[in-house]
Amino acid sequence: MSRPQSTLKQFQNLFKTKKRKKRSHKVGLPPASLVYGGEKKQEEVFINLITYDESVFSEERIELSQLEDHLNSQAKVIWIDIVGLHDISLLEQIGKLFGIHKLTLEDILSVEQRPKMEVFDEYIFATLKMIQCNSPESPITEEQVSFLMEKNILITFQEKAGDVFQFVRERLVDPRRAIRQRGTDYLLYALLDAVIDNYFLVMENIGERIENLESQAMLELGKETLNALYLQRREMMDLRRSVYPLREVIGSFDKYAEHKISPEVRPFIRDLYENTIQVIETIEVFRDMSSGVLDLYMNSLSNRMNNVMKVLTIISTIFIPLSFVAGVYGMNFEYMPELSSRNGYFYVLGGMGIAAVGMLIAFRIKRWL
pLDDT in tens, 56-87: 899 999 988 888 888 877 778 999 999 988 88
pLDDT in tens, 228-246: 888 888 888 888 888 888 8
pTM, entire model: 0.77
Under the banding of pLDDT at 50, 70 and 90, the label for residue 210 is confident
Under the banding of pLDDT at 50, 70 and 90, the label for residue 279 is very high
Q: Using the predicted structure, report yes or no on whether residue 30 has a pLDDT greater than 70.
A: no
Under the banding of pLDDT at 50, 70 and 90, the label for residue 364 is confident
Residue 2: predicted pLDDT? 44
Under the banding of pLDDT at 50, 70 and 90, the label for residue 17 is very low
User: What are the E-state strand segments in 86-216?
Assistant: 116-119, 124-132, 141-150, 153-158
Question: CB pairs under 8 A, 24+ apart, for 31-34?
Answer: 31/103, 31/106, 32/101, 32/102, 32/103, 32/105, 32/106, 33/106, 34/88, 34/91, 34/92, 34/102, 34/105, 34/106, 34/109
What percent of the chain is modeled with pLDDT above 90?
24
Q: Using the predicted structure, report yes or no on whether residue 102 has a pLDDT greater than 70.
A: yes
Domains in the chain, please, with CATH?
Answer: 32-300 (3.30.460.20), 308-365 (1.20.58.340)
Rounded to an integer, what distance in angstroms lies between the CA atom of residue 9 and that of residue 11?
A: 5
pLDDT in tens, 152-203: 899 999 988 888 899 999 999 998 898 998 999 999 999 999 999 999 999 8
pLDDT in tens, 295-349: 888 888 888 888 888 888 888 888 888 888 888 888 877 777 777 778 888 888 8
Who's near 58: CB < 8 A, 6+ residues apart? 49, 50, 51, 52, 75
**Stretch among 38-47, 56-65, 284-293 having the lowest mean pLDDT:** 38-47
Q: Using the predicted structure, report yes or no on whether residue 289 has a pLDDT greater than 90.
A: no
What DSSP string runs through 154-173? EEEEESSS--S-HHHHHHHH
